[in-house]
């Protein structure tokens, strides 16, 4: 399953379905070649994909010569615009949609709601950003562009004498500016809804209608798997956008009262749950079909006949999943710029809570399903793995970092990398020379463990002096594990992470969340296919020097994520490895 892209197909787009010329494809040539075999009502002749356009091999060569990357969603227009803003010196901010817990030192970690300065959006899936003094790569699908880029970074209102909020200071130009910001949000809601309706129409008429005419290629069961209940969603959204337009004040958009529309349709929006739950199955079926050339050509012909932008079908089908999760973000932004005296204030406030409830479980399930692919890829990169797969018991990475583990009976200290998942803590060792390579060492069952905070000083159990320490203790077996962090704040992060792990386990039990065996096996199968046999070769020094001369390490789009760390090592303090080599123990894994 390919990694999903951000809101409405392309990350951070205010007008996500602008009909720009598709990039990377000779559209004129393609239209010329497929126009002849098209039936008057838009259906494709059964022989169209082979007889009239030449052999599949010829068509495939044309496909390759056009540099078309089927299955890689996203056009380049909006991305180029963002980079132009950045290059002109403008500051572009994005808001995090979900938590991003890093598995790689080169990635930027953040929590949902954090504001990120986007510094480079050249790559479609991985962007370079900064939060405070930290920089790194982050998935573009985890963020959205702030509608009002000129909004102050501080969300906290400024106070004046008497404890009242100073509106003029907070919004710079007083009430007029706040009304303009509300206008911006209203316009975005209306604009994206209209674009979304066109997008749904294109799928239903451009793909589903054509697929039903090709009974030799698709069964009804296959179409149900691929498209789910998207036709029901299309009918629902058509009624919803009409209701929105009735409430839209064209002359004075900031006076529009749209909150009641969301309240009216909150129950009908529950049909998205069925679509979102089916979406992983749709991805699997599409992945299977697109291994056969004739399906690739058929889907591409459908897209060109409908004059849709240059995005593959799996990218289009992701949009409803992301759309339902976008509503709470739009309403939260609308509420921020709606005065309490506004007639729409109470309805927007109620609509925000309603749409949060609708989106929360859908959003969480989507994110967790995406995580299992990443976890499977991570495990496949670990050397000497032993025992059952991580996904057998876990589906979420809670936290990761380096700790000193102290073991009985000699109280020997060992530096190890630890990865805390729900239900288990995995311990790995870094290679002495290749620090990007990890070796599996052990794991701890967190269901049996109790976390104990240890005061600085001499520990009675291990009879040694410790600092920034904590223990994992099993009452049944009296098993004790002692860990030490380098800094007090690191220790506190670990203690908080252990609390979050238990909270996540309890929440999964309450909501009945689980990953199916089919999904687990498919994730591990995908990871094994992506993982190269043997250890990756070292990069030549000239190429490494070229990378390090850039303003930040460049992400090679043709390489899998697990190899990026090797190509662009994170900035770190000068190593004293060779100075201390005489004191090292023999090289043992």
Q: Are residues 366 and 403 in the same domain?
A: no
State the pLDDT at residue 151.
Answer: 56
Distance CA 523, CA 373 (A): 5
Q: Give the domain extent around 366.
A: 178-372
How far apart CA 47 and CA 66 sit, in angstroms, is 23
Residues 264 and 304 in one domain: yes
User: CA 294, 295, 301: angle at the middle one, nearest 5?
Assistant: 90
| CATH classification at residue 90 | 2.30.30.40
In this prediction, residue 561 carries a pLDDT of 37
Q: What is the pLDDT of residue 460?
A: 83
**Same domain? 129 vs 203:** no
Same-domain check for residues 83 and 197? no
CA distance 255 to 248: 8
206 within 8 A of 306, measured Cβ to Cβ? yes
- Given this model, what pLDDT does residue 442 score? 94
Are residues 410 and 282 part of one domain?
A: no
Do 358 and 422 lie in one domain? The reply is: no
Q: Is residue 259 part of a domain?
A: yes
Q: For residues 184 and 476, give the distance between their C-alpha atoms in angstroms, rounded to a whole number.
A: 60
Q: What is the pLDDT of residue 281?
A: 86
pLDDT of 77 reads 52
Residue 153 included in any domain: no
* Cis peptide bond N-terminal to 409, omega within 30: yes
Q: With CA atoms as reference, report the closest residue to 221 among 301, 292, 285.
A: 285
Residue with token string 């792990």: 501
pLDDT in tens, the chain (589 residues): 333 333 333 333 333 333 333 322 223 233 333 333 333 333 334 333 333 334 434 433 443 343 333 333 334 455 667 777 787 778 888 888 777 877 677 889 888 778 899 998 888 788 999 998 889 999 888 888 876 665 555 443 333 334 444 444 344 444 467 888 899 999 999 999 999 999 999 999 999 999 999 999 999 999 999 999 999 999 999 999 999 999 999 999 999 999 999 999 988 898 887 888 788 889 989 999 999 999 999 999 999 999 998 888 988 998 998 888 889 989 999 999 999 999 999 999 999 999 988 877 776 777 787 788 899 999 999 999 999 999 999 999 999 999 999 877 677 889 999 999 999 999 999 988 887 889 999 999 999 999 999 999 988 888 888 999 999 999 888 888 999 999 999 999 999 999 999 999 998 887 777 787 877 888 898 888 776 544 444 434 443 343 344 444 444 443 333 333 333 334 444 444 444 444 444 444 4
Q: Is residue 574 part of a domain?
A: no
SS3 236: helix
Do both 436 and 295 map to the same domain? no
Q: Which residues pair with 530 in a beta bridge?
A: none
pLDDT of residue 429: 94
Distance CA 49, CA 63 (A): 13
Of 449, 482, 512, which marks where a domain is finished? 512
Count of CB atoms situated within 10 Å of the CB of 208: 17
Let me know if residue 446 belongs to a domain.
Answer: yes
199 part of a folded domain: yes
Same domain, 194 and 96: no
**Integer Cα distance of 477 and 471 in angstroms:** 14
Cβ pair 365, 354 in contact under 8 A: no
Residue 376: partners with Cβ closer than 8 Å, 6 or more residues away: 389, 390, 391, 523, 524, 526, 527
* DSSP line for 12-49: T-SSTT--PPPSSS-HHHHHHHHHTTB-TTSPBPTTTT
Residues 6+ apart with CB under 8 A from 337: 148, 178, 179, 181, 182, 185
H/E stretch holding 120 reads strand 115-120
Q: Cα–Cα distance between 228 and 207 in angstroms, integer? A: 13
For residues 457 and 329, state if they share a domain: no
DSSP characters over 280-334: HHHHHHHHHHTTSHHHHHHHHHHHHHTT--S--HHHHHHHHHHHHHHHHHHHHHH
With respect to residue 220, please indicate whether it lies within any of the assigned structural domains: yes
End residue of a domain, out of 121, 145, 169: 145
Torsion of Cα atoms, 423 then 1 then 367 then 435, to 10°: 60
Q: Residue 44 domain-assigned? A: no
Report the predicted TM-score, pTM, of the whole model to 2 decimal places. Answer: 0.47
Query: 302 near 206, Cβ under 8 Å?
Result: yes
Same domain, 500 and 364: no
β pairing state of 115-120 and 424-430: unpaired
Please give the tally of structural domains in the chain. 3
Residue 58 lies in a domain: no
- Given the structure tokens 């620090």, which residue do they identify? 435
Q: Are residues 285 and 191 in the same domain?
A: yes
Q: What is the CATH number of the domain that holds 243?
A: 1.20.900.10
What residues have CB less than 8 Å from 296, skipping those under 6 apart?
63, 70, 290
């Amino acid at each position: 399953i390919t990694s999903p892209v951000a809101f409405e197909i392309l990350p951070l787009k205010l007008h996500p379905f602008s009909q720009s010329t598709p990039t990377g494809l000779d559209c004129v040539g393609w239209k010329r070649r497929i126009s002849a075999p098209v039936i008057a009502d838009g259906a494709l002749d059964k022989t169209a994909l082979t007889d009239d356009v030449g052999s599949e091999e010829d068509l495939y060569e044309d496909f390759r010569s056009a540099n078309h990357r089927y299955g890689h969603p996203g056009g380049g227009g909006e991305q180029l615009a963002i980079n132009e803003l950045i290059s002109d010196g403008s500051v572009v901010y994005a808001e995090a949609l979900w938590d991003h817990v890093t598995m790689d030192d080169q990635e930027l970690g953040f929590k949902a709601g954090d504001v990120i300065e986007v510094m480079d959006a050249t790559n479609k899936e991985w962007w370079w950003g900064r939060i405070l003094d930290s920089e790194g790569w982050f998935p573009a699908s985890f963020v959205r562009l702030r509608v009002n880029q000129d909004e102050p970074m501080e969300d906290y209102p400024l106070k004046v004498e008497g404890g009242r909020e100073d509106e003029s200071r907070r919004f710079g130009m007083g009430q007029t500016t706040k009304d303009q910001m509300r206008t911006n949000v209203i316009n975005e809601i209306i604009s994206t809804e209209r674009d979304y309706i066109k997008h749904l129409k294109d799928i239903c008429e451009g793909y589903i209608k054509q697929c039903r005419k090709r009974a030799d290629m698709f069964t009804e069961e296959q179409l149900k798997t691929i498209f789910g209940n998207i036709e029901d969603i299309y009918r629902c959204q058509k009624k919803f956008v009409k209701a929105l337009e009735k409430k839209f004040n064209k002359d004075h958009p900031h006076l529009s009262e749209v909150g009641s529309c969301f309240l009216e349709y909150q129950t009908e929006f529950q049909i998205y749950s069925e679509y979102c739950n089916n979406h992983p199955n749709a991805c699997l079926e599409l992945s299977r079909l697109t291994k056969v050339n004739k399906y690739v050509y058929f889907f591409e012909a459908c897209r060109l006949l409908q004059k849709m932008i240059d995005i593959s079908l799996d990218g289009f089908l992701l949009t409803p999943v992301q759309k339902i999760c976008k509503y709470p973000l739009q309403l939260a932004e609308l509420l921020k710029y709606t005065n309490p005296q506004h007639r729409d204030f109470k309805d927007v406030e109620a609509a925000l809570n309603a749409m949060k409830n609708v989106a929360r479980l859908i959003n969480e399930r989507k994110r967790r399903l995406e995580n299992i692919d990443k976890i499977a890829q991570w495990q496949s990169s670990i050397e000497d793995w032993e025992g059952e797969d991580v996904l057998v018991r876990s589906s979420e990475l809670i936290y990761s970092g380096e700790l000193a583990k102290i073991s009985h009976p000699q109280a020997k200290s060992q530096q190890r990398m630890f990865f805390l998942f729900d239900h288990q803590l995995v311990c790995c060792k870094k290679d002495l020379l290749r620090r990007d390579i990890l070796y599996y060492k052990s794991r701890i069952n967190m269901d049996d463990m109790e976390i104990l905070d240890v005061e600085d000083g001499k520990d009675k159990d291990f009879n040694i002096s410790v600092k920034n320490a904590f223990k994992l203790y099993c009452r049944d077996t009296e098993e004790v594990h002692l860990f030490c962090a380098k800094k007090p704040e690191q220790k506190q992060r670990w203690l908080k992470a252990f609390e979050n792990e238990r909270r996540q386990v309890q929440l999964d039990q309450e909501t009945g969340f689980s990953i199916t065996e089919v999904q687990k096996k498919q994730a591990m199968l995908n990871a094994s296919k992506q993982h190269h046999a043997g250890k990756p070769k070292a990069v030549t020094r000239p190429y490494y020097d070229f990378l390090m001369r850039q303003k930040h390490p460049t992400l090679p789009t043709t390489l899998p994520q697990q190899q990026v760390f090797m190509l662009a090592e994170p900035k770190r303090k000068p190593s004293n490895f060779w100075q201390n080599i005489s004191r090292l123990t023999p090289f043992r894994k």
